[in-house]
Structure 1
């Protein structure tokens, strides 16, 4: 290909892939439907492939379009990261500004980060925070987020990482559940209880399950949302795993079970791409997260 293909064509391609139609992509991208159609036609011409076929169900992507999707998503993430980084290059005399995108697990994002973010915004009101909550590990190298809170040690050399400590995980139940169903004295006793846990076994959960000695088949209440699992425990629906600090501050406090048999320390890291060290906003957010999480880790000690 002699010509350079513009990003706007791939942006329209991704829009159609995500929305399933030209009209849906146009609404999502703020363009007209004919413009999106021209983008797709131009991209097909320049690449020399057919990207979509029409059917009663709408536009169906060809194998060529599906092969391009991951690269288009990476371009979209890079473009968004560029916009966030550029937004923070304003007048330093007016204070820090810009948008910083943080990714964390659901339970950390809902139960742990809000007071940290609130304190940060009190000190730096010019910084806009985006929270991307997912139990999938977001790819910082692809710029899906600027800063990540992770329970596994990052291995990529291009990442700046700070370990903030270990969060203890234990087995807990609501006092009302135990009053109604009794307190198990061993892991074998769990067979007669409502045991809350995961449904889909991801590689990370597999390593956790192996260390704790539990299997999917043992769970009678299953969810891949750690927030849903925590809500079930707090609703006295059964017994499940929970961070010690979150169990202690529940109302009423959750009761810990089998502490000597079922305990696990989760390494906790704050990470960001090394290129973002030059962004003052990212550095401030990184340090605020690390400091706040260190306080949370300190509150996790104890039974």
Structure 2
């Protein structure tokens, strides 16, 4: 057998983990035909069939399952080597990837990243705006801003501060429906929900709001879209206090109701924290996010409803 080709193994691994050739190609930044050729070349090299096509789905064969265990271990070793190499870098040049939820990225991070650019002008910062939790060990991001504490032992996390979430609606909504005196008055209200409706309802009920799935009439997996629907008076929504205070036409509906806890965690990999450029960004983010922005301090990205 000729020398093993890691690119072919990487294409195979990505296809298994992404679930399809198209998704794997996007993950690796390749075209689908290129990735397909790499997987086919690996099959030819090994003399085995790695996938069977069932309808539109790729299914691992027995040989593919056995090989994946080895390729996965190789990939973990390669990821660890990349992390260790990055950790040795002492330059303040290069790119640092910061991951945050879409709502956090739009409303809170632009001003913070502006300060970091002034502090280290030769750095490039890539903001990964996603509600999915980035895998720091796979280098999907160097630093992540999360609202849950990570459980992985090889990650380090700093609790920057505790924020809170409240129930909000537009002034126009209040004019039409009246200001609720207590949680019971929201039993018939339309809520703007996220894509995981049942999870949201369970959370709201645990928080003391008499909400069912029937209350969720509009929903989106995009938090910015959810917030814009609330701003337009289409229903009631839950949001971090700081973001709501940046939106003049929004009012709290239950100001005396205990806030929902929203912790702000800053997370990185242990080895990445030895990289000077990542350490600079990590510490600057921690310092900036430790202080809640003043009401109305950030620019409103979308014009208010007329």
TM-score by length of 1: 0.77
CA deviations on 1:70-104 (whole Å, 9 max, x unpaired) are: x66x94996699399659947x4xxx111111111
Give me the whole-angstrom Cα distance separating, in 2, the residues matched to 1:190 and 1:151. 26
Number of matched residues?
Answer: 285
Mapped contact 2:197–2:216 kept (Cα < 8 A): no
- Aligned-residue Cα RMSD (Å) equals 3.9
Partner of 2:290: 294
Shift of the 51–151 alpha-carbon distance from structure 1 to 2, 3 Å rule, reads same
Structure 1 runs not aligned, ≥5 long: none
Q: Deviations over 1:43-94 (max 9, x none)?
A: 224555313457997xx5232468949x66x94996699399659947x4xx
Q: How does 1:158-173 map to 2 (within 5 A)?
A: 158-173=154-169
Contact 2:155 2:270 (C-alpha < 8 Å) held by counterparts: yes
Classify the secondary structure of the residue corresponding to 2:195. Answer: coil
User: How far is 1:180 from its partner?
Assistant: 2.0
Distance 1:194 1:206 in 2: 12
Q: Please name the residue that 1:240 is paired with.
A: 237
Q: Could you tell me which of 90, 108, 112 is aligned with 1:112?
A: 108
1:183 shift after superposition:
1.8
Counterpart position of 2:204: 209
Separation of aligned partners in 2, 1:207 and 1:140: 29
- Residue equivalent to 2:261: 265
**Which runs of structure 2 are paired with 1:13-92 in the superposition (5 Å)?**
13=12, 20=21, 28-29=29-30, 33=34, 37=37, 39-52=38-51, 61-64=58-61, 68=68, 75=75, 82=82, 86=86, 89=89, 92=91
Q: In structure 2, what is the Cα distance between the partners aligned to 1:151 and 1:179?
A: 33
Equivalent residue number for residue 279 of structure 1: 275
Q: How far did residue 134 of structure 1 move?
A: 1.8
- How far apart are 1:278 and its partner, in Å? 1.4
Match of 2:177 in 1: 181
**Which sections of structure 2, spanning at least 5 residues, go unmatched?**
297-306
Q: CA deviation at 1:265?
A: 1.8
Partner of 2:146: 150
Tell me the TM-score normalized by structure 2.
0.76
8 Å CA contact 1:159–1:271 kept in 2: the answer is yes
Asked if 1:227 corresponds to 2:228, the answer is: no
Contact between 2:190 and 2:215, CA under 8 Å: does it hold in 1? no
More displaced 10-residue stretch of structure 1: 74-83 or 256-265: 74-83
